Amino acid sequence: MAGFMIVRSLHSPPHVLIFPLPFQGPVNSMLKLAELLCLSGLHVTFLVTDHIRSRLLRFTNIQSHFSRYPGFHLDSISDGLPEDHPRLGDQFMEMFNAFQAVTKPLFRQMLLLPASAIAPRPPVTFIIADGILSFTIDVAKEIGLPIVCCCTISPCSLWLFFCLPILLQSGEFPFQENELDVLITCVPGMEGVLRRRDLPNFCRSGDPDDPNIRLFMTERHQVPRADGLILNTFEDLEGPLLSQIRTLCPNLYTIGPLHAHLKARLAVDTAPASSFSSSSFRQEDRTCLSWLDEQPPKSVVYVSFGSLVTITEEQLVEFWVGLVNSGKRFLWVIRPDSMAGKEWESQIPTELREEAKKRGYIVGWAPQEEVLGHPSVGAFLTHSGWNSTLESVFEGVPMICWPYFVDQQINSRFVGEVWKLGLDMKDTCDRVIVEKMVNDVMDVRKEEFSRSAERMANLARQSVSKGGFSSVNLDRLIEDIRSMSC
């Protein structure tokens, strides 16, 4: 572990320390941000956990790719967990508690070490940290460094987390299973949209003392203490809610979609994949791209539930049968750890496996951005993680949403009800519904969803092109980093 000194020299270039939450989605988007800052000539230290660093070094081209930026440095810190810990979604609280207990003091210690410990790199002059790591704000304030939070979940969910106290006071909780479709009217900007069913899954306990509710309430209320807030979104997607967020965090930098922003700045839309850095913590199986090359345009349903979701045997079988019965071609990412320790293949009866082989292709991890951009892909069955959602929006691919946790329940509601970019399958996992939704999105309502998806994709492209809102906001962020670093 290296260290950074706090005394700044007038002659030192700005040096930004970027610290993402140790999950795939947040690391992906914040590494893109790191590269955007490097492109502008800033020094960047990208700080990840030891566990993630070893995976990045093993599975990605991060070292060779970033060697073109002499100001880039990859550093790491302990996440407080044993190396063989599964680090999956259902252990979120355990991971977060270890982070608080172990990583927080290490982070502070790291920033207080003398400059000689990191020479010849210049001292850190600016921090960008995930918005849920509020201890970074405490440390930044203590040592007098400017800090901007980066929210890697969706802004619609961020706003909901800001409104948790209103929800708790409104008498909304507790509620029964048969009251899930009741509309919630007390969240400004979400009237007529938000149902109890669309709240984060942990709200269902109805217990205001639920540790998850407490965690998100506490952490989110620290965000306005930072000097600004970066959101991975674009104004045309979430304008009305962004106005609400601005009432609490006026210095907002909406600079997304970050993955597309980088492509736009590098102007390499048509360049080979090797032009980009991969940030997968797993080995990508690129054979699926050749398989996609052989399929007709827009004929394939891409299925992936992200990096943290675990599914049960029953759910696996329902999806399997639903996909096979839909008669559509599919590319499905089934991570080896998808079933929390169980090996998934033995759960599927042989005849079903044979049936799937006719039209399906399964990989353990895919180069998702490339898959979503492939002309053969016609729909995305997704867990509605924020990065997956933005990647699908940008490529104009309609979605079928099966949300799992945190921000995903509300993301899927916005996809289905507000943006009209697909269907929300929330709270059901039934072969008949899977089959019907796949056919609705791929056939019955294909025109309708394709039209709205293409319209939104165009707006996303405009936002990151020269003069677009996200592009202008990124330039403003870079200017602010320079001026606040002096």
Residues within the interface to ligand UDX (CB under 6 A): 23-26, 28, 152-153, 280, 304, 306-308, 333, 365-366, 368-369, 385-388, 391, 406-408
d(CA 131, CA 366): 28
Between 108 and 204, name the residue whose CB sits nearer to ligand UDX. Answer: 204
Instruction: Give the Cβ contact number of residue 84 at 10 Å.
Output: 6
Helices (H) and strands (E) in the chain, counts: 20, 13
As measured in angstroms, the least distance from the Cβ of 372 to ligand UDX is 8
Q: Is residue 58 a contact partner of residue 88, using CB atoms and an 8 Å limit?
A: no
Give the nearer residue to ligand UDX in terms of CB position, either 277 or 280. 280
Nearer to ligand UDX, 42 or 308 (CB): 308
Q: In what order do the strands lie in the sheet with 329-333?
A: 360-363, 329-333, 300-304, 377-382, 399-401, 422-424
Structure tokens at 240: 């009305």
- Closer to ligand UDX by CB, 160 or 478: give it: 160
Rounded Cα–Cα distance for residues 293 and 331 (Å): 12
* SS3 state at 445: coil
Cα 395 from chain centroid (whole Å): 16
- Least distance in Å: CB of 390 to ligand UDX? 8
Report in angstroms how near the CB of residue 395 gets to ligand UDX at its nearest: 11
Minimum gap (Å) between residue 307 Cβ and ligand UDX: 4
CB 198, min distance to ligand UDX, A: 14
Structure tokens given for 255: 């600079």
Beta bridge partners of 304: 382
360-363/377-382 β-pairing? unpaired
Residue among 32 and 73 whose Cβ is closer to ligand UDX: 32
- The residue (of 216 and 365) whose beta carbon lies closer to ligand UDX is 365
| Three-state SS at 298 | coil
Residue 382 or 471 with smaller CB distance to ligand UDX: 382
Cβ nearer to ligand UDX, comparing 269 with 448: 269
Nearest to 360 by CA among 312, 304, 315, 300: 300
Closest CA to 223 of 160, 143, 130: 130
Nearest distance, CB of residue 442 and ligand UDX, angstroms: 21
Complex with ligand UDX: residue 380 or 449, whichever CB lies closer = 380
Q: Token pair for residue 221?
A: 């209320």
Q: How far apart are CA 465 and CA 58, in angstroms?
A: 33
CB neighbours (10 Å) of residue 280? 18
Would you say 210 or 285 has its CB closer to ligand UDX? 285
CB-based contact 244:266 (threshold 8 Å): no
Alpha-carbon gap, residue 209 to 207, rounded angstroms: 5
Nearest-approach distance from CB 161 to ligand UDX, in angstroms: 12
Minimum Å gap between C-beta 423 and ligand UDX is: 18
Nearer to ligand UDX, 48 or 124 (CB): 48
DSSP category for residue 29: H
- Both tokens of residue 419? 């943006």
What is the rounded distance in angstroms from the CA atom of residue 21 to the CA atom of residue 100?
Answer: 12
- What 3-state DSSP class applies to 130? strand
In the complex, the smallest distance separating the C-beta of residue 73 from ligand UDX, rounded to whole angstroms, is: 23
Smallest gap from Cβ 23 to ligand UDX, in A, equals 5
C-alpha distances in Å from residue 478, one per residue of 29, 38, 40, 163 = 17, 10, 8, 30
In eight-state DSSP terms, residue 60 is S
Q: How far is the CB of 382 from ligand UDX (least distance, A)?
A: 7
Cβ proximity to ligand UDX: between 30 and 145 the closer is 30
Core vs surface per residue 165-188: b (16+ CB within 10 A) or e: eebeeeebbebeeeeeeeebeebe
Name the minimum Å distance from CB 306 to ligand UDX: 3
